[in-house]
Amino acid sequence: KVPHHPEQPARASFMLEALQAEEWPNSGKSEAIFREAPRGTDEHVLLYHTEKHLAGFKSKCSKAEAFYRNKKKTNFIAYDSDTQVMWGTGEASFRACGAMIAAVDSVFLPSDDPAHVDTAYCCTRPPGHHAERGVAQGFCFFNNAAIGARYCQNRYGASHGIKKVAVLDFDVHHGNGTEEGFIHDDTLFYGSTHEKDNYPGTGTDPSPHVGER
């Protein structure tokens, strides 16, 4: 981890510990189920991001991982002052993507399937909503919500009639990366609540009504 950096592994472990300590009401089938996130694939990432973006990210990850193996210390490969790749960033990012894919699949399983869930929460870092299709920024490398929206359409569009997907973003920051990829696509809706003038300075009112048509 980067000393004193606000994007820390402890953020995910703190959330997971709080969730595991919660007394969940019984749904009639089972209590809350905790599952390890599988690793997403290049194909999943490319549902939203460009090939150039994926290749650049994997290259930075490879350099950071090689430095760590050879020098036995952490090296940071920077996109910018906030967004930096270290030896574990690639695995964490692909698993965050994989968590979204697994969550979507679990929701769409038949209701009598033991692995089915009605709702799913992905306790993952790095986050995603600042990542544009070709840009990593704001601690974000892969836009997991956007990948999940596209996966939902592609995987379950024909079988379940999923034509339009909404992403509702509750955060102090505007999810510029999600809006960037949704704004010209009528099959995707993006709605955001965020603090005005906070990072990254986008999403001012009136903002384009993404997916309204």
Query: Residue 12: how many CA atoms within 13 Å on its side-chain side?
Result: 17
Q: Quote the percentage of the chain above a pLDDT of 70.
A: 91
**Rounded to a whole number, what is the distance in angstroms from the first to the last CA of the chain?**
43
**DSSP 3-state assignment of 188?**
strand
- pLDDT at position 146: 98
CA distance 63 to 86: 9
Distances (CA, A) of 14 to 140, 172, 178, 180, 209: 19, 19, 26, 31, 35
CA distance 34 to 14: 15
- pLDDT at position 100: 98
Q: What single string gives the DSSP state of each residue in 73-132?
A: S---EESSSS-EE-TTHHHHHHHHHHHHHHHHHHHHS-TTSTT--S------SS--TT--
Reading the block at residue 45, the tokens are: 């990432």
CA distance 54 to 81: 20
Q: What is the pLDDT of residues 9-42, one digit of tens each?
A: 888 899 999 988 887 765 544 567 899 999 999 9
